[in-house]
Amino acid sequence: MTDFRLPLGSLVESFVDYITETFDFLFVFIRAVFDGAYESIEYVLGEPPFWAIMLVLGALAFGIRGWKFAVGTIVGLVVILGVDQWDNAMDTLALVLVASVLTIAISVPLGILAAKSNLASNIIRPVLDFMQTMPAFVYLIPALILFRVGVVPGIVATIIFAMAPGVRLTELGIRSVDKEVVEAGQAFGASPWRILRQIQLPLATPTIMAGINQVIMLSLSMVVIAGMVGAGGLGAEVVASLNRIDIALGFEAGLSVVILAIFLDRITASLGDTHSTGMFGSIRVVLRGRKQTDAAPSSVPALAPTQPARV
Amino acid sequence: MTESNTAPIAVKADHLYKAFGRRPHEIVKKLKAGKNRDELSSLGVAAVIDASFEVKKGEIFVVMGLSGSGKSTLIRMLNGLWDTTSGTVTVGETNITDISAKELREVRRKSISMVFQHFALLPHRTVIDNVAYGLEIQGMGRDERLAKAQTIIDLVGLAGWAENLPSELSGGMQQRVGLGRALAADTDVLLMDEAFSALDPLIRREMQEQLIELQAALGKTIIFITHDLNEAMFLGDRIAVMRDGRIVQIGTPEEILTDPANDYVAQFVQDVDRARVLTAASVMEPVRSVITKTAGPRAALRTMRDLQTSVTFVLNRDRSFAGIVRDRDVLKLVKRGETDLRSIIRDDATAVLPDTALVDLVEPSVESELPIAVVDEKNRLLGVIPRVTLLAAIGNVTTNTGPLPVVMPPATISISQITDVLGESADDTHLATEGARA
Ligand SMILES: Nc1ncnc2c1ncn2[C@@H]1O[C@H](COP(=O)(O)OP(=O)(O)OP(=O)(O)O)[C@@H](O)[C@H]1O
Ligand SMILES: [Mg+2]
């Protein structure tokens, strides 16, 4: 052994100390905002009676994927209720929703930036790699110092951990929009902002939605770690069962996480799929159909690709 | 198709260069210093080298070349989608090379639109919304632009498809949408990058014809890219041939066919469908055997004897084309001592306008051995096309290296016989001596 030692750890430590002292007001602010967001969602989900929430989620499932999924959702929620994890599940759902929304709000614009600028892409890419591969526990330490025990460090760690796929898939989606179509926008004189709004984002939507789905799944996978720093919910139950070696509790809490995961995954997956069945899909079709008949009342075109008349 | 030299310039390219690579300007500097493209390949690709041309208003200007010759790069510099490395582009009055992004967008909205090889329609929008896209960007209100788009949809033959998505249309129909979108924007200049290359041959032909009709009706300036020579020849008022980034020749289709600038162009054009490109004017020969109606049979016979042909063209007094007489008939007339040619003038000779394609001459030339007369709109005789000339032109046998041995139907009556007849009834020795001298 030699005396060679890189003082990286202590450097980062003093950096965090410095940040904490200098930007204390900022962290107080962020803490208040995140906490407020979480509290309100938690209130919305936790306050009404369980059957009301079940009905709403069941209706959502029906609207997005159809009646089979609605039935599955109700059954799953009844199981959660049956193992006495309802309140914890609602806490966790609130945590995941808040963390996911914040992650998406950060990662989609970053993805757009990375798609538009090679420089930004080259900077963002290694940072994301770093954030995603650094063990998630490590974020907890500064997060704890900066935001103190509670739900906020959990949310922050989740955002950092779950951001990568949101950014990556947004960038990928926008970059893989057919170049010629983007050129068409430019060739007719559309501004970059308009091309983004009318061409790139709509065409990248399926890929971006896949990214959002990934973000939500990763957020859910962070609930246990968030539970360790006092975020409560199902995560805290799992941590407790680990401490007490309580297999029964561990299984029940774990199963509830799985049920929530399946629900969220199926919902977000079908949002990205424009051909989804279910009520929203039909609404889209109906709307389009109505627009058609409005604009061209006379012509109901045959779908057979007949050659149109020459001019 | 023809426009005077004074027609205003719609698009001007002035010494355009485009290089790809780390240091494009260095490549261009070396190119200008005389290095050739292959020596610089380690630095990057010189996609367009020193391209200059002017496209007149209302012209169809075709850029033709093999894959990789720089056509797409060139056309993308014309509307500023890609910056030039060196050189300037002028659209209408505006030099678009140094203007701001905002001004450039304005030029694209008002002056120059584009049709793409793979259509580049917005897949999530209906046909009518696609066609109205340019108008939407121009800031036109919804009702107005949809009404205008509808008329364009009818114009390009897509009536009844307005509310379909592009994916529900066949390729040919999708490209009609692409064309409609460019036409709706109502710019003076239309850029078309291999617009028909993705279509199958029959639809392609139809689209080409339709484009020409539209161009004639709307008077757009069209810059059309293709790697298909027949397409270039069919559409182009003028054609620029590109090779390895350089424009090697600019000319009318006929100039390129009949007078290729170098071996490359010559080789390129050798399997073009010449019968569709060459016109009567480009292959016709001067009329030598010609007389006026009032000249009389003896003069006609003498002309034919001197030129050793069996027919001669007859003109009215105002030099318009009256018909043809044959040696046998004239001989009879002379023998009978008549002095009026009129009774034997045959009007079954085919007369065509100078811009008739050779392909349309094949049938008359098969049906009758008489040479085809080429006349202008006032019916004045400009030239003649004997059958051999027609065959030689279609078959790309060189006709301009020397006189062909036979250009007219050969005499069917021997010279001596004619001379006998002329001598027999000659009352004018002056004519006889002149004939003998020839
Ligand atoms: N973005 C680019 N980066 C580097 N090289 C390029 C780029 N675009 C084109 N090139 C090169 O420039 C040359 C000309 O390409 P261009 O696309 O203009 O040819 P083209 O005549 O349109 O060919 P095609 O008929 O295949 O479309 C090619 O050698 C090509 O490899
Ligand atoms: Mg090309």
- Per residue in B273-294, pLDDT (tens digit) is 777 778 888 788 888 888 888 8
Q: Give the Cα separation of A238 and A231 in Å (integer).
A: 12
Q: Is the dihedral of CA B122, B128, B134, B139 positive or negative?
A: negative
CB-proximal residues (5 Å) to ion ligand 2: B 72
Q: Does residue B189 contact residue B109 with C-beta atoms inside 8 Å? A: no
Helix or strand run (H / E) with residue B232: helix B229-235
| pLDDT score of B149 more than 80 | yes
| pLDDT score of A1 more than 60 | no
- Sequence-ordered list of residues with C-beta below 8 angstroms from that of B19, at least 6 positions apart, any chain: B25, B27, B28, B31, B43, B44, B45, B46, B47, B85
The neighbouring-strand residues paired with B238 are: B61
| pLDDT score of A311 more than 50 | no
Give percent above pLDDT 90 in chain B.
Answer: 40
Nearest to B252 by CA among B110, B108, B60, B387: B60
Query: What number is the average pLDDT over the span B97-119?
Result: 93
| pLDDT score of B343 more than 50 | yes
Interfacial residues of A (vs B; Cβ cutoff 8 Å): 178, 180-181, 183-184, 186-191, 194, 198-199, 202-203, 291-292, 295-296, 299, 301, 303, 305, 307-311
pLDDT band at A260 (very low <50, low <70, confident <90, very high): very high
Q: Give the Cα separation of A276 and A270 in Å (integer).
A: 6
Ramachandran angles phi, psi of B190, nearest 5°:
-120, 125
Strand duo B112-115 + B9-21: pairing: unpaired
Instruction: Count CB neighbours of A305 within 10 A.
Output: 13
Query: What number is the average pLDDT over the span B139-157?
Result: 93
ipTM greater than cut 0.85:
no
Order across the sheet with B321-326: list the strands. B290-292, B311-315, B321-326
Give the amino acid at A279.
Answer: M
Ligand 1 atom closest to residue B70's alpha carbon, by position in its atom list = 18
Q: Is the dihedral of CA B270, B273, B279, B284 positive or negative?
A: positive
pTM of the predicted structure, to 2 decimals: 0.74
Three-state DSSP class for residue B259: coil
Six-digit token string for B154: 């009818």
The torsion region of residue A245 among left (phi > 0), alpha (psi -120 to 50) and beta comes to left
Highest mean pLDDT range out of A285-289, B160-164, B256-260, B405-409?
B160-164
Q: What's the B72 CA to ligand 1 centre distance in angstroms? A: 7
Average pLDDT value for chain B: 85
Write down the pLDDT at residue B330. Answer: 85
Ligand 1 atom closest to residue B225's alpha carbon, by position in its atom list = 22
How does DSSP assign A123-143, residue by residue?
A: HHHHHHHHHHHS-HHHHHHHH
Write down the pLDDT at residue A274. Answer: 52
CB contact (8 A) between residue A301 and residue B138: no
pLDDT band at A297 (very low <50, low <70, confident <90, very high): very low
Q: Between the CA of residue B385 and those of B125, B356, B377, what are the distances in Å?
A: 55, 12, 17
Six-digit token string for A276: 């989804």
| pLDDT score of B43 more than 50 | yes
| pLDDT score of B383 more than 70 | yes
CB contact (8 A) between residue B109 and residue A188: yes
Lowest mean pLDDT among A80-89, B94-103, B265-274, B379-388: B265-274
CB contact (8 A) between residue B146 and residue A178: no
Q: Give the Cα separation of A8 and A12 in Å (integer).
A: 6
Write down the pLDDT at residue B424. Answer: 58
**Residue in chain A lying closest to B72 (CA):** A180
Query: What number is the average pLDDT over the span A190-198?
Result: 95
Mutation for testing the A interface, residue in B77, B91, B127, B137 having most A CBs under 10 Å: B137
Six-digit token string for B292: 């006026």
Q: Which long-range contacts (CB under 8 A, 24 or more apart) does B340-345 make?
A: B340/B296, B340/B297, B341/B291, B341/B293, B341/B295, B341/B296, B341/B297, B341/B300, B341/B314, B342/B293, B344/B297, B345/B293, B345/B314
Write down the pLDDT at residue A182. Answer: 95
Q: Give the Cα separation of B249 and B64 in Å (integer).
A: 10
Query: What number is the average pLDDT over the span B11-29?
Result: 93
Q: Give the Cα separation of A5 and B339 in Å (integer).
A: 125
CB contact (8 A) between residue B120 and residue A178: yes
Six-digit token string for A261: 């995961």
CB contact (8 A) between residue A186 and residue B124: no
Q: Give the Cα separation of B386 and B370 in Å (integer).
A: 7
Ligand 1 pocket mutation pick from B18, B20, B43, B74 by most atoms within 8 angstroms of CB: B20
CB contact (8 A) between residue B172 and residue A181: no
The torsion region of residue A278 among left (phi > 0), alpha (psi -120 to 50) and beta comes to left
CA distance from start to end of chain A: 87
Ligand 1 atom closest to residue B18's alpha carbon, by position in its atom list = 12
Q: Give the Cα separation of A85 and A76 in Å (integer).
A: 12
| pLDDT score of B154 more than 80 | yes
Residues 23-62 of B with CB under 8 A from A: none
Three-state DSSP class for residue B95: strand
Write down the pLDDT at residue B53. Answer: 96
Residues in B touching A178 (Cβ below 8 Å): 118, 120
CB contact (8 A) between residue B213 and residue A311: yes
Nearest CA to ligand 1 atom 12: B47
| pLDDT score of A294 more than 60 | no
Task: Return the ligand number nearest the Cα of B242.
Answer: 1
Residues in A touching B213 (Cβ below 8 Å): 311
Write down the pLDDT at residue A204. Answer: 94
Query: What number is the average pLDDT over the span A77-83?
Result: 93
Q: Give the Cα separation of B191 and B186 in Å (integer).
A: 13
Q: What's the B245 CA to ligand 1 centre distance in angstroms? A: 9
Three-state DSSP class for residue B243: strand
Instruction: Supply angle C-alpha A184, B135, B8, rounded to 5.
Output: 80
Q: Give the Cα separation of B87 and B358 in Å (integer).
A: 41
| pLDDT score of B437 more than 80 | no
